[in-house]
Each structure stands twice: as C-alpha cells, then as structure tokens.
Amino acid sequence: MSEAGEGVMGMLTLLPLLASLTGQPVVPGGLEKCQSEQAPTLRLACYDALARFRHAPAQQQARDSGFQMTTDPAQGDRVLIRTLPSVGIITVSCQSGITRLSVRPATPWQGDTVKADVDGEPASGNWFVRDQGQLLEFARGLPAINELRHWFGHQSLALSNAHGQAIYLPLDGLESAIRPLRQQCRWGGPS
C-alpha cells in the first residue's frame, strides 16, 4: 500500500475514536456504510454527511445544508452536494470529465421506477434505481448536463414512484453553485 493510502487508512481508523472524544453520538453503521460505497464521489459525500452530523449542533442538524462544493482529494474531481435531512442527499459530480447526477434517499426507494417533476411539470425519466433502492442515479454525461440545465431557474424537483413514495429537493442556488463543476466538466453552450 502506498504511503498516502496508509495515511488515509490510519485516519479512517482513528475517526471513531476522535468522534467519541467530541461527546457526539456515532451514527450506528455510518462509517461502515461509507467505507462500503464503491463510487468515490458517493463515498466522499457519505463521509462529508457523516462529519457534518457529528459536528453540527443538535438544533442545526434538521436544516438544509444548501449546495456545497467539495473536491475529492484522491482524484481532484469536483463534487456538489446538498444534504436534506429526512429527504436525502443530491450529488452532482465531474468524474474524469463526465457529469454525474444522483440522489441518495433518506429511506430506501421502493420499486424500480422513478417519475420526475420540476416545479410540477414532467421532467426526464432517465433515472435508475441502484443498490436495492439506496441510490437513484440519472443517466451520465450529456443527458445529465441537459437535465441540470433544465433545472436552472426552477424551485424544486419531485421524485416519486407508484408506491406513493415521494421526495422533494429544492433547486434554489443550483445554477450559481454548479459553476466550478461546469468548468471542470467543460460544459459547452450558454452559462
């Protein structure tokens, strides 16, 4: 294992100990869930969400984080994350020049279909249910870019299924927050 890899592993093994020193409760299974995440951007989003949970005062934990840009330290890829307690985490990333869009619902998604609406109007149906409902992923690349552009200037995205499950994701602030990622992924066309 490389020195960098050993350093990361050492830090990860110390994370539960450091969390216990803060007096904050450790999310049961949270660290293991993050470690088992295969996609680097989702793993990073998981660790970020876990760190925010552990360090945020109790009264702030129920609030929307707003869009936050982070950078994957291993790859240098930009990741835009919005965490909504009781709803889920929306992630937009640029991996190897490819735009990716996903939502990790707070509760597992039921069924294998996703209906999308933006401000009450039907949106693209290019959503896929992954990991036994733990992840909703949109088509990558140009379809994701076109869908994200469609969201600019709108207020909310609603994802629903035939089982009556629905999640609502606010889109305010997306257009300005996503600019650095757009540059990294080299989106063409109007800003």
Residue spans of the domains in the chain: they are 3-184
- What is the tens place of the pLDDT at every residue in 139-172? 999 999 999 999 999 999 999 999 999 999 999 9
Provide the CB-side half-sphere exposure for 121 (13 A, CA).
5
Return the CATH architecture of domain 3-184: Sandwich (2.60)
Separation between Cα atoms, residue 24 and residue 53, nearest integer Å:
9
Distance separating alpha carbons of residues 120 and 31, to the nearest angstrom: 37
- In angstroms, the CA 92 to CA 78 distance is 9
pLDDT tens column, 32-80: 667 677 777 677 677 666 565 444 444 434 456 689 998 888 888 889 9
Q: Identify the CA nearest to 135 among candidates 160, 156, 157, 106.
A: 106
Alpha-carbon distance of 166 to 69, in angstroms, equals 26
Q: Tell me the one-letter amino acid at 54.
A: R
